[in-house]
């Protein structure tokens, strides 16, 4: 994942353009993708797909004749969706179009102007402060014209048509934790899942944030009824603790499964209620959809100082954190896949466990699993799923599943699933 992230990092991506397509070409070396090109002007609910933006070069030449700001050195230097311009101007006029972070003077901020045609450059405040008086030539050789927006998806088919949606956004230029870490986790999650015989189908969606998910929803509205739940994958690679942001409904199967995994991870973690800013969960959890979509991250966007700046680089993320995050996604999916409902074959009073060798005769030898067994035999009434029972018993899902399997072998439980 870290190698893929390193390869994607230098590419200038945005909500449209060839950088996004080039990124999908690279991802396609790992998994196959089905791409959709949506023409500029296409309506999507209250939005329309914007013009397509591509940059050949962009720089500012200072009074001494050298390039003082150059997009070729770091694509964050150019305001996202910057319109083409060639103009010579004074330092004070130039400064009206320069963006810096005064409190972090050595990093380049990430700024965009998608829906308001503008031009500008971003730079370190320390450099901004050292610019000398004189004439500056601004050159932005870019195109901002009718074209299309690209999104891509892959469907890993399970036994059921019911889907789990895993979604990430591909619109950020050179930033690692925000956006790209989610892209590589989603890619390798798809690569991992496709080797199994799965119960649910898994749709992995790569799209620009906001306009991409809005457009996808507008074109797939009928499909949303068959989406059981989903997760927005982002901020997966920093060394902070895991954060789960709940769906708008807050108590759906994905919320319970994600929180269950974090609670039993033996590590510190954070749970946040849904709030209506952030990433694409804003669209999936808008009132007209209200889908069971949460987001599993490490340190949330906006909560680390490197967020939306050149500080969010290859040194801010690491392979261990990416590995730990994907492991948690796999554990959540493992719960979804095996969250069966069982029915006891012996509902009238407890079955005699001792005669089946399931209960120690002289005091408990494995009190934890014996307790789980009692929970299962009591709650397997067709109403509670294995996850419900694991939550009530305060035991890890994997342990409850193992004990349930043993009770099935002894004929004390039977599956109540339609599957």
Contact residues: Zn ion, CB under 5 A: 178
Spatial contact of 66 and 224, defined as CB atoms under 8 Å apart: no
To which H or E segment does residue 131 belong?
A: none
Nearest approach, Cβ of 213 to Zn ion (angstroms)?
Answer: 13
Q: From the CB of 101, what's the least distance to Zn ion, in Å?
A: 15
CB of 280 or CB of 331, closer to Zn ion: 280
Q: What are the residues whose beta carbons fall under 8 Å from the beta carbon of 141, sequence distance 6 or more? A: 55, 56, 57, 58, 84, 86
Contacts 24+ apart (CB under 8 A), 63-72: 63/132, 63/133, 63/134, 63/135, 63/136, 64/132, 64/134, 68/127, 68/131, 68/136, 69/121, 69/123, 69/127, 71/12
Measured from the CB of residue 294, what is the shortest distance to Zn ion in angstroms?
18
The residue nearest Zn ion at its CB is 178
Residue 247 CB, nearest approach to Zn ion (Å): 20
Dihedral-angle region of residue 302 (phi above 0 means left; psi in -120 to 50 means alpha; beta otherwise) = left
Smallest separation, CB 72 to Zn ion (Å): 23
Please, what is the minimum distance in Å from the beta carbon of residue 233 to Zn ion?
Answer: 13
Q: What residue ranges in 185-298 does DSSP mark as E strands?
A: 201-207, 227-233, 242-245, 269-272, 293-297
d(CA 154, CA 41): 25
- Residue with smaller CB distance to Zn ion, 109 or 396: 109
Residues 6+ apart with CB under 8 A from 139: 57, 58, 59, 60, 61, 85, 86
Nearer to Zn ion, 158 or 294 (CB): 294
In the complex with Zn ion, which residue's Cβ is closer, 178 or 331?
Answer: 178
User: Going by C-beta distance under 8 Å and a sequence separation of 6 or more, which residues neighbour residue 68?
Assistant: 60, 61, 62, 127, 131, 136
Geometric angle at alpha carbon 255, from 253 and 259, rounded to 5°: 120
Question: How many C-beta neighbours within 10 Å does residue 417 have?
Answer: 10
Q: Which is nearer to Zn ion, 178 or 306 (CB)?
A: 178
Helix (H) or strand (E) holding 390: helix 386-393
Nearer to Zn ion, 58 or 297 (CB): 297
Nearer of residues 52 and 178 to Zn ion, judged by Cβ:
178
| Residue 365: Cβ within 10 Å count | 10
CB of 316 to Zn ion, least distance (A): 14
- To Zn ion, the closest distance from the beta carbon of 185 in angstroms equals 16
Nearer to Zn ion, 94 or 233 (CB): 233
């Amino acid at each position: 994942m870290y190698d893929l992230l390193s390869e994607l990092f230098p590419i200038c991506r945005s909500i449209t353009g060839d950088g996004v397509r080039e990124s999908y070409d690279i991802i396609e070396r790992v998994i196959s993708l089905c791409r959709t090109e949506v023409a500029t002007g296409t309506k999507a609910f209250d939005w329309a797909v914007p013009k397509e933006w591509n940059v050949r070069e962009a720089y500012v030449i200072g009074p001494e004749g050298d390039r003082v700001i150059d997009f070729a050195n770091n694509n964050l230097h150019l305001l996202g969706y910057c319109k083409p311009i060639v103009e010579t101007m004074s330092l004070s006029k130039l400064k009206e179009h320069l963006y810096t972070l005064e409190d972090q003077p050595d990093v380049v901020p990430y700024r965009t102007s998608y829906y308001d045609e503008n031009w500008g450059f971003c730079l370190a405040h320390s450099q901004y402060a050292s610019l000398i008086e004189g004439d500056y030539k601004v050159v932005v050789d870019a195109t901002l014209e009718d074209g299309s927006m690209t999104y891509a998806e892959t469907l890993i088919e399970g036994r059921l048509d019911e889907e789990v949606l895993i979604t990430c956004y591909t619109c950020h230029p050179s930033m690692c934790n925000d956006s790209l870490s989610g892209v590589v986790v989603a890619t390798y999650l798809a690569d991992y899942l496709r080797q199994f015989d799965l119960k649910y189908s898994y749709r992995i969606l790569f799209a620009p944030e906001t306009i991409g998910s809005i457009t996808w929803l507008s074109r797939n509205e009928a499909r949303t009824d068959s989406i059981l739940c989903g997760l927005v994958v982002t901020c997966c690679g920093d060394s902070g603790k895991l954060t789960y942001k709940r769906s708008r409904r807050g108590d759906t199967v994905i919320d319970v499964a994600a929180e269950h995994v974090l609670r039993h991870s033996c590590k510190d973690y954070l749970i946040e209620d849904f709030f209506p800013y952030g990433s694409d969960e804003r669209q999936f959890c808008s009132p007209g959809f209200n889908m069971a979509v949460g987001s599993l991250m490490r340190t949330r966007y906006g909560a680390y100082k490197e967020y939306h700046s050149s500080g969010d680089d290859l040194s801010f993320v690491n392979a261990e954190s990416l590995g730990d995050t994907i492991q948690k996604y796999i554990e959540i999916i493992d719960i979804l896949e095996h969250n069966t409902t069982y029915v006891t074959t012996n509902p009238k009073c407890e079955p005699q466990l001792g005669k089946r060798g399931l209960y120690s005769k002289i005091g408990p030898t494995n009190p934890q699993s014996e307790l789980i067994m009692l929970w299962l035999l009591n709650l397997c009434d067709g109403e509670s799923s294995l996850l419900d029972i694991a939550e009530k018993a305060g035991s890890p899902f994997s342990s409850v599943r193992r004990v349930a399997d043993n009770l099935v072998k002894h004929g004390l439980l039977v599956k109540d699933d339609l599957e």
